[in-house]
A and B are shown apart, each in its own frame.
Chain A
Amino acid sequence: MTDRLLELRSVSRTFHLGTRQVRAVNAVTADVRRGECLAVVGESGSGKSTLANLILGVLPPDPGGEIRLEGEILPHRRQRRHRQAIQLVQQNPLSSLNPKRSIGASIRLALDVHGIGDRQDRPARVGALLEEVGLPADFATRPPAALSGGQRQRVAIARALACESGLVVLDEPTSALDVRVQSRVLALLAQLRAQRGLTYVFITHDLSVVRNIADRILVIEAGRVVEVGDTVNLFESPRHPCTRRLISAVPVIGAEEVAFRERVRGLAEGLQEAAGGTG
């Protein structure tokens, strides 16, 4: 029981588009274990972002499903302590920081809302958080426009840390970044997880990132979970066509990678011929 930090039990979410109903998330049952990095992968429109919003409580799930945090059912109207427990890092750091507020103010909001630390100590705490994500403390007074994309994403991470949450939902946190910046931010995320004992739900479509950061992978297609497994196993023997498709579409650069991908492509094509499906 203590092993599972977050439990999703047949969680669905239906959107009404005019007369049409679209079930973006369809009876998803999954666990997030304490301290792990669980990657949620899928193509665009697969429902992975809706799933993130359900976990964050931004969207209420359809009746019938439930989301438990440390065994407690999360209500549709989250209380302040529930908000504090789960935080978010978004894809686009340009949009996720208010252009009209200093980055210090953006981070401090979390401290103010949850009453973390004494009032007088909060500026120092903001500075310490900035340093923890590898930025100078005096950046606090700067507007987001004065920062590079990677620096902004570090600020967004510092803001998520400010809540002292155990669980952080990372929604494509590095896909808007250049490759060198991406790797540095990923390294920071890995380091923070180790130091703070954080649990990550990492939402992405980039399988080469997943391979190097996730402990387990959950593959989602058309709102349903189609495959779950340990990262190494899932890459060695991907079973569902969707998983194989995602792996074989990854653009790669090394000869070793090409060979690996060709092997998965072979699997995917063999599977198409057999017209079968596992999972």
Chain B
Amino acid sequence: MTPDVTDGAVTGMAGTGDRNGARETGKSIDTLAIRDLRLRFRGYTETTTVLHGISMRVAPEQRVALVGESGSGKTVIARAILGLLQLLPGAIVNGDIDFEGQDLTGLTTRAWRRLRGVRMSMIFQDPTSSLNPVFTIGEQFHEVHRRADPAIRRSVSGDRAAAILEEVSITEPDRVLESYPFQLSGGMNQRVMIAMAMANEPALLIADEPGTALDVTVQDQTLRLMRRLVDSHRTSVLFISHNLGVVREFADRVYVIYQGRIVEEGPSAAIFRDPRHAYTQALMAAAPRITGGGIPDVSEDEPAFLAPREVHPPEPTPTGDG
């Protein structure tokens, strides 16, 4: 809302200098603030309500998880933040989404293009579908860099790409930059995709079930890399997942979503130590334990799942188990 922050959000794409400036002036300004987001879809025969007033925030450098089952509306929220939902015919969106203090409603297509892939970027579930098979990794990095700086030279882009690839533990970045996605393994593509999402030093990274298309060991690796990268680049993350275990490992703060409503929110440690909402409790009870104990008994959906949201107070010390 202060002019310099808004400026920072729009022009702050060329490097870390602008970004640090934005952080200093905007210490108290959330990277992302969603207030009372409502969404209805007008179908051919009826209108369905998908989101019943979602409010959530992501502070600078915070890792926030949105956890819920399929159909809960969690992916739709990501699309709304990226401004993709508003383009769908039949979608009726109400509520505010503020990104670094700037209201995103009514943004022009041009302004969106300066945000998407620059100040906010996204990692998808399946790496192979988001990398273009007909361009080399280097060409795709150049394309991404050009979104922030249209005049950037190929060589400069290559150097920057190589640097960030090294950060995701790719030992031969030059060889990878010359490769096509199909020449790399699934795990490697996943890392390339993370590096690419971070290429323009975004303020917010939205990760939709990253790595779940692969197996547990690759998923584990992916999460560690992502965590390291966002730590060193001080990026805020909105992490969308249905897997409670993954959320516990990754997030500082958790929002639990059920049928388009936030039912519980709070610091990650508090929620896992003391789940208060009936739905959160049911979700946790349903996960099979690696220590045994048999297959959990799972009840049907209960009316209590629609009870008002539980909010945990902030914890004094930041959490995380390194």
Contact = CB atoms under 8 A, between A and B. Distances in A.
Contact of A257 (B69, B242, B243, B290): B290
Given A183-B295, A184-B298, A251-B245, A260 B216 contact: no
B70 A249 contact: no
A257 B245 CA distance: 10
B282 to A, nearest CB: 7
Counting contact residues on chain B (CB < 8 A from A), the size range is 35 or more
Interface string B239-267: 00011111011000000000000000000
Contacts of B217: 43, 205, 245-246, 249
Contacts of A182: 286, 288
Contacts of A246: 216-217
B104 interface: no
Q: Which of B215, B219, B296 has the most CB of A within 10 A?
A: B215
A273 interface: no
A141 interface: no
Contacts of A261: 290
Given A44-B186, A180-B282, A260-B290, A212 B321 contact: no
Interface residues of A, number: 39
A250 B298 contact: no
B295 A213 contact: yes
A256 interface: yes
B272 interface: yes
Interface string B262-293: 00000000001000000000111011111111
A213 B294 CA distance: 7
Contacts of A235: 290, 292
A258 interface: yes
B80 interface: no
Contacts, number: 112
A112 to B, nearest CB: 33
A181 B70 CA distance: 11
A220 interface: no
A190 interface: yes
A183 B298 contact: yes
B240 to A, nearest CB: 14
Contacts of B284: 253
A251 B243 contact: yes
A250 B295 contact: no
Contacts of A212: 288-289, 292-295
A186 B288 contact: yes
A181 B293 CA distance: 18
Contacts of B282: 180
B296 A251 contact: no
Contact of B296 (A183, A205, A257): A183
A232 B292 CA distance: 9
A208 B246 CA distance: 13
A5 B121 CA distance: 52
A182 B219 CA distance: 19
A44 B288 contact: no
18 contacts: A43-B216, A44-B186, A179-B243, A182-B286, A207-B290, A211-B292, A212-B294, A232-B292, A235-B290, A249-B219, A251-B249, A252-B289, A253-B248, A254-B289, A256-B289, A256-B291, A257-B289, A261-B290
Interface of B: 69-70, 186, 214-221, 242-246, 248-249, 272, 282-284, 286-298, 321
